[in-house]
Chains A and B, each alone.
Chain A
């Protein structure tokens, strides 16, 4: 099993550009999450999903949108990137409300 995979690994955007980050899991998990990690800030939840077709806001949802059209995939979109969105983005999944398994991360720089 690959576990949780994220595409791409690195990306550089100019202010105002848009992009989509892809997360895929092969563990048949119901729940999926998107976090951002900034120096000295720990991990902060952006959006999450409790099942196919559902999404919900986390702690820092502004400027992001998500979709969960298939159980195994969770997409994070930036419609108009801003320098404040420079961060490392992690996707995670879990079978219930307990253990979350994280992907390797996507390093995004917005100039």
Chain B
């Protein structure tokens, strides 16, 4: 089955700096890669996703890049703000017939220091 590794497990940045979280996956058939943000005491919230037919996607201060050859994808947050502090999870999935399962990384706790 799919295996997703996520690094680092914790990350502290100064407000205004950039943060980068990296994930690798094992199944070359995976073609959907979402990122979730989880605030304390809440459920995960989808913040951005990318599908295997594109290499990069941006949404304001966040971006995701995908390298299918190397089987890794990354989340980039620019101009970080205190409200970006949360746990971030990457995931991978093969969205083909009969397969609906997301495999998650173990999470990165991001702390933005004012």
Residues of A within 8 A of B (CB): 4, 31, 33, 40-45, 48, 50, 58-59, 90, 92, 94, 96-105
Contact = CB atoms under 8 A, between A and B. Distances in A.
Interface residues of B, number: 24
B28 interface: no
B73 interface: no
A40 B104 CA distance: 12
13 contacts: A33-B100, A40-B106, A42-B89, A42-B104, A42-B105, A42-B106, A42-B107, A43-B104, A90-B43, A90-B44, A97-B99, A100-B34, A100-B102
Interface of B: 1, 6, 32, 34, 36, 41-46, 49, 89, 93, 95, 99-107
B114 to A, nearest CB: 27
Contacts of A103: 43
Contact of A45 (B32, B36, B102, B107): B102
B32 to A, nearest CB: 6
B106 A41 contact: yes
- Chain A to chain B: the 8 pairs with minimum beta-carbon distance, closest first: A102-B43, A97-B95, A42-B104, A42-B106, A43-B104, A102-B44, A104-B43, A105-B43
A92 B34 CA distance: 14
Contacts of B1: 59
B106 A97 contact: no
Given A90-B44, A97-B32, A58 B104 contact: no
A53 B104 CA distance: 26
